[in-house]
Each structure stands twice: as C-alpha cells, then as structure tokens.
Amino acid sequence: MSEEHPGRKPLVRAQQEKYAQNIAAGMPKCEAARAAGYSGTGSVAVAKLNKKIHVLERINFLKREAGNAVQVTSSEVVQGILDSIERSKAANQEGHVLKGLELLGKTMALFTDKNLNLNMNQDLDLDARLRNAKEMARELTSNDGRDDAPTRMEIN
C-alpha cells in the first residue's frame, strides 16, 4: 500500500528528520547536516542522505507545506505598507514615508498604464497626500485584484 502523499509522515530517524526540516527551511546542505548532528563537515552525510528517496520525499513535502503556509494577500501587503508609512510619519522620517509611498505605488501597479487621478498637488501637505494614497489603496484593493482594462494615469 503506497502512501497518498509521500513525505507526509516524519522520518523515523531523528537526525534524518532534523536534516529534512533544516533543508526545507533553506539551510545549506552541509550546515543542515551538522545542525542535525552529523559529524565532520557534513558532506559525507549529505552525499548519503541525498540518495535516500524517503529523505528527499520528506524534504519536498516540507517545502510544499512551507510554501502553502506563506501565502499573503495583496490587501495584507498594502496594509503592511500603510502601517509602515504611518510609523515612519509618526517618527518624522519623511524619507521613509516617501519610500513607503513609492513601494505602495509599485505594489498597486500605479506605474503601469492605468488611469488614476492622483491628487499629489505639491501644495498639499504630507497628511493630505497620505490620505489620498490610502483612499486609492482601498479602491484598488476592493476589486480583489480584478482589473478590466489598462487606462492612463493623471497626476495633478
């Protein structure tokens, strides 16, 4: 009877399981072997472990699981950027605020062929520009990533 998802079950040998977890976490192979308790430089252990199908299946399974757990929505990214902008603004770090706004613009694809009326009038203070950017972010993320047609951007 074959296992439905190869690598789902932890490996029986603790060192092999630790090695697989270390590799799945992005650690270099020899370092992963040493951290798992293998002696020497770890290169001999790595050569042997990389020939064991069950170890390789476990590594692949752990990598897939880690990849599935790290999915982030676009609204979470935008909210994180907005939070960072607010913290920078509170600390009076205008350079960081501007960098955050730039990143926000890139994240929302403002520098592509879209028609957005950005009221970035230089007469407006930083608070007003930030409010405008937040409103745009809400509008752009409320469509759940759907974008019907490219349009043009206007900056006032």
Predicted local confidence at residue 34, as pLDDT: 93
| pLDDT for residue 150 | 41
**pLDDT tens-digit series, residues 38-75:** 998 888 999 999 999 999 999 999 988 887 666 667 77
pTM of the model: 0.45
Parse the chain into domains and list their residue ranges: 14-69, 74-155
Count CA atoms closer than 13 A to 95's CA, side-chain side.
0
Handedness of CA 117, 120, 121, 123 (dihedral sign): positive
Cα-only R_g, the chain? 24
* Backbone phi and psi for residue 118, each to the nearest 5 degrees, phi listed first: -90, 115
Question: How many angstroms separate the CA atoms of 81 and 87, rounded?
Answer: 10
Question: Which of these, 129, 128, 124, 117, lies nearest to 156 by C-alpha position?
Answer: 117
102-156 tens-digit pLDDT: 888 887 777 765 444 554 555 566 777 777 777 777 776 665 444 443 443 344 3
Tokens of 18: 């630790």
Residue 19: C-alpha distances to residues 7, 29, 32, 48 (Å)? 13, 8, 5, 12
